[in-house]
Amino acid sequence: MSLVPFDDRDGTIWMDGQLVPWRDAKLHVLTHGLHYASGVFEGERVYGGQIFKLTEHTERLHKSAEVLGFTIPYSVEEIDRACNELVAANNIDDGYVRPIAWRGSEMMGVSAQKNTIHVAIAAWEWPAYFSPEARMRGLKMRISDWARPDPRTAPVVSKAAGLYMICTMSKHKAEAEGYHDALMLDWRGYVAEATGANIFFLMEDGKLHTPEPDCFLDGITRRTVIDLAKRQGLEVVQRHIQPEEMANASEAFLTGTAVEVTPISSIGDYNFNPGRVCESLMKAYDEEVRRGSDKAALISGSAA
């Protein structure tokens, strides 16, 4: 299957306050964000034309920028409105939204105090990766050679572009070796996360265990799934997890905007059996993300 390049598509992109033709949304090669990774972004999913937890994502975008030392020149409300306007303009039903903010090109060097802050938002159709049946087969993963850094060495609470370099490197190596993804440990050797998703384990005590998010993002999907698990009567334990403890887990799964809730079949030499808990949380999450779009459709139908 041939790839459709992301710089050569139909539609519009919101850029610095206005909708522009997709192919015209460009930046200069000497943009600071390109050379020094001074950019932050979000990833959001659209279900039935509605963006799931849009404001939470936009608020995190602002906080991420603050951590990197710059202020986004549009309010949370303005960006929310732009995201919704863009989804409607591009006729997105089930899709993905990517807001990004970065330092411009006025100064080229480590210091960029006077650079303009730019913001762009793109949205495109993006149906589910796998059917529920295919997802239940589980992902095959390896343990990455790269580790999540000490919070004293990187802005780990920000969804900053530069933090994803080792994720791309880890995922590329995993795919080259026949795996779907890689598990990243942290600088202390504890289990951290996958290259773009959080991780959960159903341990032999019957509780869900998930790593303490002290050196990686406490994902919005992660928090949603924790709430769903508690509604189902599952106890959720957030703690530091040693890699060898994975031998005590019967089920494991990833959570994230892109992967949603996706079971894992193996991580290196550790094997899991996607089962009742994975299946119930997949179903609960699918229902949760569709709740807003179903309500909007009902209101629209009533108005008609």
Residue ranges per structural domain of the chain: 12-125, 132-289
What is the pLDDT at residue 297? 46
Task: Please name every residue paired with 44 in a beta bridge, in sequence order, or none if there are none.
Answer: 97
What dotted CATH number matches 12-125? 3.30.470.10
Q: Which of 122, 102, 114, 123 is nearest to 15 (CA)?
A: 122
For the chain, the residue count is: 304
Which tokens hold the place of 156? 């780990």
What is the pLDDT at residue 130? 65
Q: How many CB atoms lie within 10 A of CB 190?
A: 19
* CA within 13 Å, CB half, 110: 0
Q: Which of 226, 11, 37, 222 is nearest to 126 (CA)?
A: 11
Options 26, 53, 63, 159, the catalytic residue: 159
Residue at 263: amino acid letter: P
The CA-atom distances, in angstroms, between 155 and each of 31, 104, 149, 170 are 21, 20, 9, 19
What is the pLDDT at residue 128? 72
Q: Is 48 helix (H, G, I), strand (E, B) or coil?
A: coil
Q: Is 230 a catalytic residue?
A: no
What is the pLDDT at residue 299? 39
d(CA 25, CA 38): 19
d(CA 132, CA 136): 6
CATH 3.20.10.10 matches 132-289: yes
What is the pLDDT at residue 136? 85
What is the pLDDT at residue 160? 98
d(CA 80, CA 52): 11
Q: Mean pLDDT per segment of 10 residues, for the chain of length 304 residues?
A: 85 98 96 97 97 98 98 98 98 97 96 96 86 84 98 97 98 97 98 98 98 97 98 98 98 96 97 96 96 54 45
Beta carbons of 163 and 155 less than 8 angstroms apart: yes
- DSSP conformation letters of 202-271: EETTS-EEEE--SSS---HHHHHHHHHHHHTT--EEEE---GGGGGGEEEEEEEETTTEEEEEEEETTEE
Q: Which phi and psi (to 5°) does residue 5 adopt?
A: -60, 145
Beta carbons of 206 and 212 less than 8 angstroms apart: no
Q: How many CB atoms lie within 10 A of CB 121?
A: 25
Q: Is the pTM of this model over 0.85?
A: yes
